[in-house]
Amino acid sequence: MKIAMLARNPNLYSHKRLKEAAEARGHELDIINTLRCYMNIASRRPEIYYNGEKLTGYDAVIPRIGASVTYYGLAVLRQFEMMGVYPLNESVAIGRSRDKLRSMQLLARDGIGLPVTTFAHDPKQTDEVIKLAGGAPLVIKLLEGTQGIGVVLADTDRSATSVVEAFRGAGVNILVQEFIKEAGGTDIRAIVVGGKVIAAMKRTGAEGEFRSNLHRGGSAQLIRISPEERSTAIRAAKAMGLAVCGVDMLRSNHGPVVMEVNSSPGLEGVEKATGLDIAGKIIEHIERNARPGATRTKGKG
């Protein structure tokens, strides 16, 4: 097969591993800088150009679209979909997962465990929002934040009020969530591929850090998850419509709660923690499913 990967940095561990895994299985994989693509949006004749040449002949596309270029990246991916190229994750599904509020609403609709989450536009409703979320300590998140950026832990109602008012004064949208104290600064990332959990790791935050992101000094180790956690991860992936994703969960007193569903999970931490060939599993999924025009939404939505 001929595979395109939309990615801006070919030197990232995840991108190199996917290229290695594809080539080891006899496929050709081209890493294409998402922002250098340009499109001819013509009726019945959609085209994508890259470095002056028309992109043709691809059987599948792996979207590794950075959060900062989501809008343009999804436009390019939709164009591939309209050309009949099979996407590992569809544009509509990625768009759902990147919108924190929308993703939480979809997960809640499907009865998936979540931390108590509140949202409001008017700063005058700050006290009510904090009360609805159960009071301090609270986690306050920017809707547009990624990788732990724009996430604040407020220890008191007064500090929560100050943070909420500061963010709203700056014109940014936020979520206010209960703090799952019993998680103890750890979370679980389950990697879902094709409706199955193929790997899971426990991530622990650095000393004094409530965020467990590995690039913030956190550590990871192999973990055996419970049947309920496995089911939660699979249902979360299905709710988003993602074939491949990382589902981040916390162990709360009332069962697993989903914090985020990541449509482009990093592979380095989980491969090193588990010793598993995650990249190879992803390429195998493409082999089993890639067919011309197999996109369910065909660029719609």
Name which of 181, 140, 178 is nearest 162 in CA terms.
Answer: 140
What residue numbers bound the domain in which 155 lies? 117-179
Instruction: Examine the domain organization and report whether 242 and 158 are in the same domain.
Output: no
Is 292 contained in some domain?
no
Instruction: Examine the domain organization and report whether 151 and 46 are in the same domain.
Output: no
**SS3 of the chain: helix, strand, coil, percent, to 5:** 35, 25, 35
Instruction: Examine the domain organization and report whether 172 and 188 are in the same domain.
Output: no
| Beta strand pairing call for 60-63 and 2-6 | parallel
C-alpha angle 45-75-51 in degrees, rounded to nearest 5: 70
Name which of 96, 260, 285, 294 is nearest 189 in CA terms.
Answer: 260
Tokens at 255, concatenated = 């069962």
276 vs 152: CA distance, rounded Å: 33
| Beta strand pairing call for 60-63 and 86-87 | parallel
**Looking at residue 221, what DSSP letter applies?**
E
Q: Read off the pLDDT of residues 214-269 as tens digits, 9 standing for 90 and up.
A: 555 567 889 999 999 999 999 999 999 999 999 999 999 999 999 999 999 999 99
Name which of 100, 102, 65, 27 is nearest 244 in CA terms.
Answer: 65
Name which of 151, 184, 176 is nearest 253 in CA terms.
Answer: 184
31 vs 33: CA distance, rounded Å: 7
Instruction: Examine the domain organization and report whether 203 and 101 are in the same domain.
Output: yes
Instruction: Examine the domain organization and report whether 123 and 8 are in the same domain.
Output: no
Tokens at 272, concatenated = 């090193």
CATH number of the domain encompassing residue 167: 3.30.1490.20
Q: Read off the pLDDT of residues 176-203 as tens digits, 9 standing for 90 and up.
A: 999 999 888 899 999 999 999 999 999 9
Is 295 contained in some domain?
no
Average pLDDT over residues 93-122: 93
Q: Given this model, what pLDDT does residue 193 score?
A: 98
Instruction: Examine the domain organization and report whether 188 and 166 are in the same domain.
Output: no
Instruction: Examine the domain organization and report whether 194 and 273 are in the same domain.
Output: yes
Is 216 contained in some domain?
yes
Q: Read off the pLDDT of residues 53-93 as tens digits, 9 standing for 90 and up.
A: 999 999 999 999 998 899 999 999 999 999 999 999 999 99
Instruction: Examine the domain organization and report whether 24 and 171 are in the same domain.
Output: no
How many Cβ atoms from other residues are within 10 Å of residue 268's Cβ?
16
Q: Given this model, what pLDDT does residue 268 score?
A: 94
62 vs 24: CA distance, rounded Å: 17
Q: Read off the pLDDT of residues 292-301 as tens digits, 9 standing for 90 and up.
A: 776 666 544 4
Instruction: Examine the domain organization and report whether 84 and 14 are in the same domain.
Output: yes
What is the residue whose two structure tokens read 């990147």?
A: 98
- If one counts the domains in the chain, the total is 3
Residues composing the chain: 301
CATH number of the domain encompassing residue 271: 3.30.470.20
User: CA separation (Å) from 290 to 3, 55, 84, 189?
Assistant: 10, 18, 10, 26
Asked, as a colleague might, if the bond just before 137 is cis with ω within 30 of 0, I would say yes
Of 133, 162, 179, the one marking the end of a domain is 179
